């Protein structure tokens, strides 16, 4: 397991040049200095506190502590705090020079082992120094004991890549006929050169690659193949949910949690869009995995380099990072090499991190609310209430509602109702009452929005519902209403994506219960406002407080990665039009709280 730790920062994300199509692919490989220290500490038998005692006999032993590694003239300089006890047994007691304290300095050179799959740390010189830097009178006998007890163990410090390479090899599925004789990674990979750098050891990993023979281009996916790739997309969704949920749930750093959750949400948005689009791509999962891995990898490295992951979990995280990097690197060779990301590959990759806790499969997708996942998105003692207990609040608009609707809740009055021209004012007044009640109730008890920003919530909720659904939960003929559903699976008045928010909200209630749908939408808006727009200080940019509203809606409409699209130049014309229309809606709602029906969808 310790070997895997050394791969935490190894196989870097590659930006491959045309040279990648040659017979040998040169991959940079980096081992962080703290991993070098960890491996040496293990070779010396140090305990979790970084201490050990090496014993020659009852009268001669050495206590070691405070191992440090640093670069020195193209070599590694290892420094150890050493306490030496020297003596000889005489009449049942140890007599002799006695106790010596100082530091041992060992210069080591990393070299490629003969097998080409490991790096050995070779001791070159060793010396002992007193705290003031001098040798002292006991240096010679102490050095003799050190050479006998310490140096042989340090020679055993080796970075062996066999085991992780074998594990990573199982992640790769190659679409070639049985018996094609595809070599394993351990047969194709050798370490080229190795050098000491400022923050660790850098090596080059040479991978033997063989371009496939030219052939006839493969035809587009047929219906069964497309269905299979959709199942792989489901598997990717489940894989990311489990992995990110486990990692985020095991750390206390809320900022890191939110960045991990943003990767999950963005990936789910991408999957939702991919499932709604059939562009004939042979492997629609490939781009999803690569894009997600490029977002996730820096966070995993930051997490691995922090003190938030226990040592045992850190070993597993290191293997997981190496496995993902291997998939990323080999995938970069291109689809013509027959490499693809499979459901089995995702499961095996998960097992590198989760071990026996990894599920046998990540599908079918569970639809029920997962309290642990929901708690990551919405921590605190006030989850979204399941019971519809809130009564109607007084409203200046209540006079617009007829007696029958005034005696029931707005949500009950809207159940199964499709807006029609002959009752449009009555319908809009009921929706307005519902949105106002739910926004006010949120601010009155559960909200995390700072008071200085709370004036934005009511018009933000109203404008979002207007832009997303034109204040509709249902559409179709009055006799057979159906829930308003987008092409990518967003439902109801707040157009909440059931796939994106799987495990956080109940998809059936989002469709069947307009009050639940509105409450969920308000909660999501608050999540993006507080945890992303405000946390990332969008309001400190030109535009001021208005930026918070625009950023919040952009994220609500497209996922966390869209947070800044309202102020970027590289945004499509269609997204710009959406943001402009929302901003117009918000300004109207801020002034009147009433929708401009003439600009809305036609009603039945």
Let me know if residue 207 belongs to a domain. Answer: no
Let me know if residue 567 belongs to a domain. Answer: yes
Let me know if residue 401 belongs to a domain. Answer: yes
**Rounded CA gap, 225 and 231, in Å?**
10
Are 46 and 16 part of one and the same domain? no
Say what the pLDDT of residue 86 is. 86
Say what the pLDDT of residue 24 is. 55
Three-state helix/strand/coil letters over 163-175: HHHHHHHCCCEEC
| Greater pLDDT, 556 or 154 | 556
pLDDT of 585-604, one tens digit each? 999 999 988 888 766 755 55
CATH, residue 425: 1.10.530
What percent of the chain is predicted at pLDDT more than 90? 39
CB 448 within 8 A of CB 380: yes
**pLDDT at residue 535 above 90?**
yes
Where do the H-state alpha helices sit in 418-501? 424-441, 457-469
Are 118 and 266 part of one and the same domain? no
Say what the pLDDT of residue 241 is. 92
Are 253 and 400 part of one and the same domain? no
**pLDDT at residue 194 above 50?**
yes
Residue 102's domain comprises: 32-159
Residue 45 in 3-state DSSP? coil
Report for 192-206, 374-388, 459-473: range of highest mean pLDDT: 459-473
Lowest mean pLDDT among 201-215, 468-482, 551-565: 201-215
Average pLDDT over residues 121-150: 82
Are 333 and 256 part of one and the same domain? yes
**pLDDT at residue 576 above 70?**
yes
Are 275 and 344 part of one and the same domain? yes
Are 318 and 405 part of one and the same domain? no
DSSP string of 402-419, one letter each residue? -HHHHTS-HHHHHTTPPP
**pLDDT at residue 126 above 70?**
yes
Are 445 and 308 part of one and the same domain? no
Say what the pLDDT of residue 11 is. 31
Report for 27-41, 322-336, 363-377, 445-459: range of highest mean pLDDT: 445-459
**pLDDT at residue 261 above 90?**
yes
Report for 83-97, 100-114, 409-423, 504-518: range of highest mean pLDDT: 504-518
**pLDDT at residue 495 above 70?**
yes
Say what the pLDDT of residue 147 is. 84
Let me know if residue 198 belongs to a domain. Answer: no
**pLDDT at residue 533 above 50?**
yes
Are 171 and 155 part of one and the same domain? no
Rg (CA), the chain: 31
**pLDDT at residue 202 above 60?**
yes
Are 109 and 240 part of one and the same domain? no
| Greater pLDDT, 176 or 407 | 407
pTM for the full predicted model: 0.72
pLDDT of 430-439, one tens digit each? 999 999 999 9
Let me know if residue 548 belongs to a domain. Answer: yes
Lowest mean pLDDT among 48-57, 86-95, 431-440, 568-577: 86-95
Are 39 and 186 part of one and the same domain? no
**pLDDT at residue 280 above 60?**
no
Say what the pLDDT of residue 22 is. 37
Say what the pLDDT of residue 398 is. 41
pLDDT of 360-419, one tens digit each? 788 877 888 999 999 999 886 544 544 333 444 444 344 344 444 444 689 999 999 999
Q: Which residues of 100-121 are buried (b: 16+ CB within 10 A; e: fewer)?
A: bebbbebbbebebeeeebbbbb
Let me know if residue 237 belongs to a domain. Answer: yes
Are 363 and 411 part of one and the same domain? no
Tell me phi and psi for residue 253, to 5 degrees: -75, 110
Say what the pLDDT of residue 467 is. 94
pLDDT of 25-70, one tens digit each? 556 666 778 778 888 998 999 998 999 999 988 888 999 999 999 9
Say what the pLDDT of residue 395 is. 41
CB 471 within 8 A of CB 495: no
Average pLDDT over residues 127-137: 79
Domain count, the chain: 3
Are 499 and 577 part of one and the same domain? yes
């Amino acid at each position: 397991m310790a070997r895997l730790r050394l791969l935490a920062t190894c196989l870097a994300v590659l930006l491959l040049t045309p040279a990648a199509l040659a017979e040998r692919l040169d991959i940079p490989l980096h081992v962080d200095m703290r991993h070098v220290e960890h491996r040496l500490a293990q070779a010396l038998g140090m305990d979790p506190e970084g201490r050990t005692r090496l014993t020659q006999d009852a009268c001669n032993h050495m206590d070691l502590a405070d191992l440090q590694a640093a670069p020195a003239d193209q070599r590694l300089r290892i420094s150890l705090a050493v306490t030496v006890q020297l003596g000889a047994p005489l009449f049942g007691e140890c007599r002799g020079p006695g106790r010596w304290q100082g530091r041992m300095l060992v210069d080591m050179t990393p070299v490629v082992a003969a097998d080409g799959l490991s790096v050995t740390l070779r001791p070159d010189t060793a010396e002992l120094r007193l705290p003031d830097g001098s040798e002292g009178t006991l240096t010679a006998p102490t050095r003799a004991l050190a050479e006998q007890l310490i140096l042989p163990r340090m020679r055993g410090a080796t970075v062996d890549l066999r085991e992780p390479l074998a594990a990573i090899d199982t992640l790769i599925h190659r679409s070639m006929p049985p018996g094609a004789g595809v070599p394993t990674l351990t047969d194709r990979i050798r370490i080229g050169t190795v050098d000491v750098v400022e923050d660790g050891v850098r090596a080059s990993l040479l991978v033997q690659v063989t371009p496939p023979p030219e052939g006839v281009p493969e035809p587009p996916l047929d219906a069964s193949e497309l269905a299979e790739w959709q199942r792989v997309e489901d598997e990717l969704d489940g894989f990311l949910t489990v992995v990110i949920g486990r990692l985020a749930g095991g750390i206390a750093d809320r900022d890191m949690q939110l960045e991990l959750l943003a990767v999950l949400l963005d990936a789910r948005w991408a999957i939702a869009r991919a499932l709604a689009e059939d562009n004939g791509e042979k492997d629609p999962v490939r781009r999803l995995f690569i894009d997600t891995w490029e977002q996730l990898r820096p966070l995993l490295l930051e997490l691995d380099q922090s003190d938030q992951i226990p040592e045992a979990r850190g070993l597993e995280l290191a293997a997981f990072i190496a496995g993902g990097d291997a998939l990323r690197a080999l995938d970069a060779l291109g689809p013509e090499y027959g490499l693809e990301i499979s459901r089995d590959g995702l499961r095996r990759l998960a097992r590198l991190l989760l071990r026996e806790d990894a599920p046998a499969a990540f599908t079918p997708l569970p639809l029920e609310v997962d309290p642990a996942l929901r708690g990551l998105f919405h921590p605190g003692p006030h989850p979204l209430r399941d019971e519809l207990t809130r009564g109607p609040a007084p409203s200046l608009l209540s006079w617009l509602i007829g007696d029958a609707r005034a005696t029931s809740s707005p949500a009950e009055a809207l159940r199964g109702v499709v807006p029609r021209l002959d009752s449009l004012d009555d319908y809009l007044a009921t929706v307005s009452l519902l949105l106002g009640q739910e926004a006010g109730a949120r601010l009155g008890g559960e909200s995390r929005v700072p008071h200085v920003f709370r004036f934005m919530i009511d018009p933000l909720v109203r404008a979002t519902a207007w832009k997303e659904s034109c204040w509709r939960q249902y559409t179709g003929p009055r006799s057979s209403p159906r829930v308003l559903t987008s092409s990518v699976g967003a439902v109801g008045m707040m157009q909440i994506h059931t796939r994106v928010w799987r495990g956080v909200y109940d998809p059936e209630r989002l469709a069947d219960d307009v009050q639940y749908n509105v409450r969920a939408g308000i909660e999501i808006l608050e999540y993006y406002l507080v945890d992303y727009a405000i946390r990332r200080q969008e309001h400190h940019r030109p535009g001021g407080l208005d930026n918070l509203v625009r950023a919040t809606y952009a994220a609500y409409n497209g996922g966390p990665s869209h947070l800044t699209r309202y102020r970027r130049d590289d945004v499509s014309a269609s997204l710009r039009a959406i943001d402009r229309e929302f901003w117009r809606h918000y300004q109207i709602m801020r002034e009147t709280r009433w929708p401009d029906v003439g600009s809305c969808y036609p009603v039945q």
